[in-house]
Amino acid sequence: MNKIPAYNALHTGKVQLKENFQIEFEFTSASLANEFDLEKDNLMRFLREKLNNHLIEFQTKIIEDFTKKYVKTNQDKFKDMVDQNPILLKMKDEFGLDYNSNE
């Protein structure tokens, strides 16, 4: 079985120890949480055995990260380019260029 998606979920998620042996896993998307859920029982069983503590429980929390934009508008792309090379803004103004034009 391919465990790379579950590894990625654990690698990007946040882990916090709560009271009464509760371990909270925080993910930024439902898909990451679902990948974790596929291996959650195996991981919990492993920890309980190795730590000799059968009170360990997992909680999963989804916190959507709205700060990341995956689809950028032409304006966003142009702003990113201007941040890297400010002369582009001057050229746009001097030549009357329109970044929304398809021509």
Quickly state the pLDDT bin for 96 (edges 50, 70, 90). confident
pTM: 0.57
**99 to each of 32, 35, 88, how far by Cα in Å?**
36, 40, 11
Q: Is residue 56 located within the same domain as residue 10?
A: yes
Q: Decide: 27 and 38 in contact? Cβ < 8 Å.
A: no
User: Range of 40's domain?
Assistant: 4-62
User: Domain tally for the chain?
Assistant: 2
Q: Is residue 43 located within the same domain as residue 8?
A: yes
What pairs with residue 14 in β-bridges? 26
**The tokens 């998307």 sit on which residue?**
29
In the chain, % helix, strand, coil (3-state, to 5) comes to: 50, 15, 30
Q: Is residue 19 located within the same domain as residue 55?
A: yes
Q: Is residue 58 located within the same domain as residue 75?
A: no
Q: Is residue 17 located within the same domain as residue 36?
A: yes
Q: Is residue 92 located within the same domain as residue 73?
A: yes
Q: What percent of the chain has pLDDT over 90?
A: 37
Q: Is residue 55 located within the same domain as residue 81?
A: no
| Count of other CB atoms within 10 angstroms of residue 43 | 16
Checking if the pLDDT of 65 tops 80, the result is no
- Position 22 scores a pLDDT of 95
